[in-house]
Amino acid sequence: MKAILALADGRIFEGKSFGAGGEVTGEVVFNTAMTGYQEVLTDPSYKGQMVTMTYTQIGNTGINPEDIESRGLFLSGFIVREYLDFPSNFRSTMTLDAYLKENGVVGIHGLDTRALTRHLRDKGAQNGIISTVDFDHASLVAKAKALHSMAGLDLASGVSCDKPYHWTEGAWKLGEGYPQIDPATMKYKVVAYDFGIKYNILRCLVDAGCDVTVVPATFPAEEALAMNPDGIFLSNGPGDPEPLVAVQQEIRKFIGKKPIFGICLGHQLLGLALGGKTVKLPFGNHGSNLPVMDMSTRTVEITSQNHGFAVDLESLGDVACLGHENLNDQTVEGIRHCSLPIFSVQHHPEASPGPHDSQYLFGRFVELMEKEKQVQA
C-alpha cells in the first residue's frame, strides 16, 4: 500500500505502508541507534512523535515479549528505510509489521531516510503527517502546518501510571528472564515518579538495592514523604517540561529533605524546580551512540539519549553546577546541586537499548542515600 510522509515545510517523501493503515501526525525526529528498535517503539518519551531510524534495515530481529520498555506504544508513527518481514532471532515471536498493526501504529518504509535525516538536521525537527488515505501533497502539508508545536505541550500526564504500585523485577538474565526480588532484601526505599518511566530504569534501581514504589506524575509530595523513603527518583518522559508547573512545585518540597536523582524529563523538571530554565533544541538527541563527559572524573561515556529539550545551565546561577556535558553539541547532560545530595542527567544510564557506560549513576544515587542515612542515624 502506498504511503506518504509530508513535512510542515513542504518536503514530501513517498514510500510504502507497513503496520497499521490510516493517517497520523506528530513531530518528526531521527534516532541513530543501530539496534533496539523494539525498545525505541515502547519508550513513552516518544509520545507525540514520529521516529525515523537512521539504520537501514529494521525488523530483522522481530519482536519478543521481553524487550518492551512500557505498557504500550506511545509514538505516532515509525519511519524506516527498509522493512524486513522475515525476522531471524531465537527470541522472536512475531514480526514488526504484525506488532505495529496490533498496536495501531502507522509505519512507512521505502523512502530515503538519509535525505530525511539530513533535512531534519539542517532544518530542525518539525511536524509531519503520514497517510495511507490522502495522497494530495498540498492537503497533507496544510494538515502538518496546522499542528501545534511540541513546545508547550504537557504529554507526560498521558503516559504516567494511574495509581502507585510496587516494582520488584530485576535485570534480565539469559536463560532465566527477569528475576523477582524480595523487597525485604532491599536496603533503600525509593519513591519513583512516573512521567513515562522505562522498565529498565526500575530494574536498575532494584539491582542497586532499592525497594521501589512507583507513583503517578501528580502524586502529592506530602504523601510521598509519608512513605519515609530514602530517596526520590524523577523519571524520563515526553514533551515540554515547562507546562508541568504543578509537578515542579511538588519537586521543590523534596529539596533539602531527601536525596534526588532525575533522568531525562526528570532532569529537566529538577532544573526548573531549582529555578532554572529549559530550551528546545533544533533536532534533539535521539540514539544510543552519543558521547558525554562526567565532569567530576573527566571520563567519557557513550550514552543512550532521547530528548528535544535541555536545561540552561546559566539560568541556575550558583545553585547547581555542570555534572555532565554532551561532547557533540556542548549541551547540559547533567547537573549537581552545589550543597545538597541532588543530581540529574539528561541521558539514559539504564540504556535499553544502548551501552552500559553510565549505569554507575544508580550506584551514585545509592551512595547519596547511604550518606544521608548515616547523617540521620
- Residue 306 marked in a binding site: yes
Q: Which domain holds residue 126?
A: 2-145
Let me know whether 235 and 329 are in one domain: yes
The reported pLDDT for the residue numbered 234 is 98
- Residue 13 marked in a binding site: no
The DSSP line for 262-277 is EETHHHHHHHHHTT-E
The reported pLDDT for the residue numbered 174 is 85
Instruction: Per residue of the chain (377 residues), give pLDDT as tens.
Output: 999 999 999 999 999 999 999 999 999 999 999 999 999 999 999 999 999 999 999 999 999 999 999 999 999 999 999 999 999 999 999 999 999 999 999 999 999 999 999 999 999 999 999 999 999 999 999 999 999 999 999 999 999 999 999 999 999 988 889 999 999 999 999 999 999 999 999 999 999 999 999 999 999 999 999 999 999 999 999 999 999 999 999 999 999 999 999 999 999 999 999 999 999 999 999 999 999 999 999 999 999 999 999 999 999 999 999 999 999 999 999 999 999 999 999 999 999 899 999 999 999 999 999 999 998 87
The reported pLDDT for the residue numbered 28 is 98
Whether the bond into 353 is cis, omega within 30 of 0: yes
- d(CA 183, CA 206) in angstroms, rounded, equals 9
Which residue among 145, 165, 180 closes a domain? 145
Which residue among 96, 125, 145 closes a domain? 145
Let me know whether 107 and 182 are in one domain: no
- Residue 265 marked in a binding site: yes
Q: Closest by alpha carbon to 29, among 280, 243, 277? A: 280
The reported pLDDT for the residue numbered 173 is 87
- Residue 239 marked in a binding site: yes
Number of compact structural domains in the chain: 2
Let me know whether 127 and 202 are in one domain: no
The reported pLDDT for the residue numbered 376 is 83
- Residue 276 marked in a binding site: no
Let me know whether 84 and 201 are in one domain: no
Helices marked H in the chain: 37-41, 96-103, 113-123, 137-145, 199-207, 221-226, 245-252, 265-273, 360-376
Which residue among 83, 115, 145 closes a domain? 145
- Residue 305 marked in a binding site: no
Q: Is 150 within the bounds of a domain?
A: no
- Residue 45 marked in a binding site: yes
Q: Which residues are CB-contacts of 175 (< 8 A; sequence separation ≥ 6)? A: none
- Calculate helix-pair angle for 360-376, 199-207, nearest 10 degrees: 50
Domain CATH code at residue 83: 3.50.30.20
The reported pLDDT for the residue numbered 343 is 98
Let me know whether 207 and 309 are in one domain: yes
The reported pLDDT for the residue numbered 176 is 87
Q: Is 338 within the bounds of a domain?
A: yes
3-state secondary structure of 107: strand
Q: Is 185 within the bounds of a domain?
A: yes
Let me know whether 127 and 183 are in one domain: no
Let me know whether 199 and 130 are in one domain: no
The reported pLDDT for the residue numbered 58 is 98
- d(CA 216, CA 335) in angstroms, rounded, equals 24
Q: Is 116 within the bounds of a domain?
A: yes
Q: Is 135 within the bounds of a domain?
A: yes
Q: pTM here? A: 0.96
The amino acid sitting at 118 is R
Q: Which residue has the cell 544521608?
A: 372
For the annotated catalytic residues, the residue numbers are: 264, 348, 350
Q: Closest by alpha carbon to 275, among 244, 243, 312, 222? A: 312
